[in-house]
Each structure stands twice: as structure tokens, then as C-alpha cells.
Amino acid sequence: MTAIGLLAAKGSPGVTTLAAAMVLARGGVGTAVVEADRAGGDLALLHAVPQSPGLAELAARARRAAVDDDLLSAHLRPLADGMLPSLLAPVDAAGAGAALDLLADRARLLALPDPAHTLVIDLGRVDPASPAAGWLRLCDLLVLVTRGELTGLAHTQALARSLLDSSRPLGFALIDTGPYPPADAEAALDLPCVGVLPYAPKHAARLRDPRHIAAAASSQLVSAAGALFDTVIARRNRQEVLAQK
């Protein structure tokens, strides 16, 4: 199991959209979105489905039983006709926070055995001093999502600095709003850029709409998210090779 954590420093740059696009790019095969934003989940609302069974029920079950692949699968909702398997968080912040605390404490969710499976974890906006720290540790890699503009990059720079001692490999995803191209953003953040997403409001809006999501799966936004997915997995595999040496 590989866990890719996506997070933002401030505002709403497009973390949830990127998480969905990454999983859609794989057609939902061997991967799933985990909603782990302490502000509450979005996908149940967007897809007009019940929020349970999801993260809250899985957290309750995990108090009594180990989370194995079957238990996780039983709590995934096959959104978008199975192209977007998702572990849905409660929509309210209190419910989402409680479920996240239960799972992070037990550190079980990500210790799952299937090495081919990749969870894309939507951590939302993260303050490193917040209780999200437990979930940050559970991720194999952290990808900071930022828009390519002055304020976004400045806040992301501060978050990156505070995460440097998290001992998790860090990279960033750039939503190409300009005026800062990836090389400038890399220099400013002192982090590798693992992917550039086009600024594409229309396609991003379609990804939020279950009537249009299938058509949006062939968009440039989703293919860029797929390339980002591949880059991150390649980095993860290289690290494993280095660790074995």
C-alpha cells in the first residue's frame, strides 16, 4: 500500500479536484480517494450519496478489528460508476475530525498489505500544528498543492519549511495560474515539482458533477493528474530501492 497525501497551506487551490482527477486517471483501478480533510468531506455532497458507510464506520470498526483490504473495500463507495472509489468522510467537521483521530491513533489504515494499491489521501488545508500531524506521518509522500501565484507560493513555502522535519518526502503540484512557471516555483519552494496542472475551471467544475465526470476523464486536467500520479509512484519506488541498498 502506498499513501500519497495531498495538502494545501491556505485557501482552496484544488486539492479535492486533484485527488479525484488522479484516481479517475487510473479508471479507479488499484486506487481510491480517502477523504481526510478535517473541514469535512465533499464527495458525498457532490455525488448526492449517503456519507456512510465510509470513514466514520471504518474508524469505528477499526477499534475492534484490524483494517484489512476487505474491510477497506467494504467501506469504499464506487463513485462515478466505479471510476472513483472513495472513502467518504462525514460532511461535518466535527464528525470528520473524530473519525480521523480514531484512525490516525491506530495507524492501521495505511498498514494494509496490498502493495499494488495506492490511496490518494485528501488532507485538505493543513496546519502542521493541528491534529492532522498523525495523518501526515501515515503518508509515504506528501504533495503540497499550490497555485502559481505570489500568495499561494508564499504560504506553501512556509508550510513546506514546517514539514521538512516530518521525514516524509515532499513535492509540490503546481496549478498553472501564472505568473510563476514551475522552475521559478521550484526555486522558491526548494522542493521538486511533481506535476503541473492546467488552470482549467470548466474541466475542474465537470469533475465535481457526477453527470459530467465521465466525459471529464479524458480532459487535459485528468491526464496531467495521471502523469503526476506516475511521477509520485516512480519517486516512491526509487526510494524503496535506495532504502534496500
Ligand X SMILES: Nc1ncnc2c1ncn2[C@@H]1O[C@H](COP(=O)(O)OP(=O)(O)O)[C@@H](O)[C@H]1O
Residues that bind Mg ion (CB under 5 A): 15-16, 124
Applying CB under 6 A, does 23 fall inside the site for ligand X? no
Residue 167: CB minimum distance to ligand X, A: 25
What is the DSSP-derived secondary structure letter of residue 171? Answer: E
In whole angstroms, how close is the CB of 15 to ligand X at the nearest point?
4
- CA distances 46 to 24, 66, 207, Å, are 15, 30, 10
Q: Which is nearer to ligand X, 191 or 221 (CB)?
A: 221
Position 15 contacts ligand X (CB under 6 A): yes
Q: How many other CB atoms sit within 10 Å of the CB of residue 195?
A: 23
- Distance in Å, CB of 46 to ligand X, minimum: 9
Residue 45 interacts with ligand X (CB under 6 A): yes or no: no
Binder among 138, 173, 221, 228 for ligand X (CB under 6 A) = 221
Which residue of 204, 213, 222, 228 would you call a contact of ligand X, by CB under 6 A?
Answer: 204
* Strands of the chain, DSSP E: 2-8, 31-35, 77-79, 84-87, 118-125, 141-147, 170-176, 193-198
- 5 contacts 22 by C-beta, under 8 angstroms: no
Gyration radius (Cα) of the chain, Å: 17
Phi and psi torsions of 202, nearest 5°? -65, -45
Q: Contacting ligand X (CB under 6 A), which of 175, 188, 213, 217?
A: 175
Assess 220 for contact with ligand X (CB under 6 A): no
Positions of E strands within 50-140: 77-79, 84-87, 118-125
| Selected range binding ligand X among 5-13, 113-121, 157-165, 188-196, rule: CB under 6 A | 5-13
156 sits near ligand X (criterion: CB under 6 A): no
CB nearer to ligand X: pick between 67 and 207: 207
Spatial contact of 26 and 229, defined as CB atoms under 8 Å apart:
yes
SS3 83: coil
Spatial contact of 198 and 224, defined as CB atoms under 8 Å apart? yes
Between 67 and 153, whose beta carbon lies closer to ligand X? Answer: 153
For residue 197, state whether it binds ligand X (rule: CB under 6 A): yes
Residue nearest to ligand X (CB): 14
Query: Which partner, ligand X, Mg ion, none, binds residue 204 by CB below 5 to 8 Å per kind?
Result: ligand X
Give yes or no for a contact between 86 and 28, defined as CB atoms under 8 angstroms apart: no
Interface residue with ligand X, options 2, 9, 17, 44 (CB under 6 A): 17
Residues that bind ligand X (CB under 6 A): 8, 12-17, 175, 197, 199-201, 204-205, 208, 221
